[in-house]
Amino acid sequence: MRFSKTAAVAGFAGLASAQTYTSCNPTTNSSCPSDTGLDKSSYSVDFTAGESSDWTLSSSSASYSSSTGAALTITESGNAPTLISNFYIFFGRVSVLMRASPGTGIVSSIVLESDDLDEVDWEWIGGVDDQVQTDYFGKGNTTAYDRGTYVNLDSGTQSDFRNYTLVWTSASTTWYLDGEVVRTLTYAEALNGKNYPQTPMQIKVGSWAGGDSSNAEGTIEWAGGETDYSDGPFTMYVKSIEIENYNPGASYTYGDMTGDYTSIVVSGSSSSDDSSSSTSTSTATKSTKTSSTKTSATTVSKATSTAKASTGGSSSESSSNGTSTSSSSSNSTTTSASSTASSSTVNVSGASSIAGQVSMWAASALLAVAVFNL
């Protein structure tokens, strides 16, 4: 079936608003602390074996099962159970094996987010079992909501575990569903890179009630309607998460206030897959995937990676470095980081798309507030 990337002008105004924020934006504050990095190139966590000290659970609690992994449950207003990595990655692959939560107004999400509000998302609306949404933001820029896509599926997301993978490089970001490409975003398409997500990201997997009565009307409508908590509990399940970190390091530091990935300093990189790290310091490269070394530092010119990206048309959005919260969000070990599929229309099995519905409440959605602070 055919998948077509279609902008949703207003329909994504509530995306991941419960999980996106920054405590210190390095593009406006030069004294922000360094980010704790994942100091190995390969990492995985199996939640069927129980909780992990590498992840912090925010808001409410979780239970763990050998068959379904982490159960993230919403029972009342204010619940927004979210697994947050205690580390950041700097370009890489993130694969999550999960089941989305049912329930009117309930939103399940996978969010990659940086301190300067670069963001890449998967989103599921609880009232729509056979659909997933994709979106991205750069530097917290919410001047337009036409970056999102809807993907219709041949089977549901709430009863079966499915693999959702993001392959994020300096040249492009690709969304895979059970190993099939459903979207590719190039550096050039994101306002010629100005709004391209490119700084170290933390990983957040969880759910929240977009339909909570305290939210803005636009957010409630986007989430599918007002949530009736007496219909719950509403549970999202996360079995496992697998990560490749293309620039492993003990820490990531913004070398200046540009928010450009070439300014990121990687310290304590490791050349092996174990948890040890060395004392080297390097500057991020522009290549699609980098291999780290213990002693060398590599810098690739900006032109190198930009040439790899498509020169597709730019978005209608404007550039912004604001600090406001952006209102977004198969075992794919064989997934290729470089896809030849077009970012506008590709053929995949088991997925199709619908046009984003343009709502009249776009202005009110801009005022949507987060239901909790992580």
Higher pLDDT: 322 or 51? It is: 51
For residues 174 and 183, the answer to whether their CB atoms sit within 8 Å is yes
Q: Is the dihedral of CA 74, 229, 327, 96 positive or negative?
A: positive
Q: Quote the pLDDT of residue 216.
A: 95
- Rounded to a whole number of angstroms, the distance between the first and last alpha carbons of the chain is 39
Q: What angle do CA 135, 137, 154 make, to 5 degrees?
A: 5
Q: Quote the pLDDT of residue 270.
A: 58
pLDDT digits (tens, 9 = 90+) for 77-112: 999 999 999 999 999 999 999 999 999 999 999 999
The yes-or-no verdict on residue 9 having pLDDT over 60 is: no
Q: Quote the pLDDT of residue 140.
A: 86
Q: Give the catalytic positions in this structure.
A: 119, 123
| Distance (Å, whole) CA 121 – CA 112 | 6
**Domains annotated on the chain, with CATH:** 2-248+309-365 (2.60.120.200)
- Pick from 63, 145, 44: which is nearest to 359 by CA? 145
pTM: 0.75
| Distance (Å, whole) CA 324 – CA 29 | 14
pLDDT digits (tens, 9 = 90+) for 258-278: 999 999 999 997 554 443 333
When mean pLDDT is compared across 20-24, 208-212, 240-244, the lowest value belongs to 20-24
For residues 157 and 96, the answer to whether their CB atoms sit within 8 Å is no
363 SS3 class: helix
pLDDT digits (tens, 9 = 90+) for 214-230: 999 999 999 999 999 99
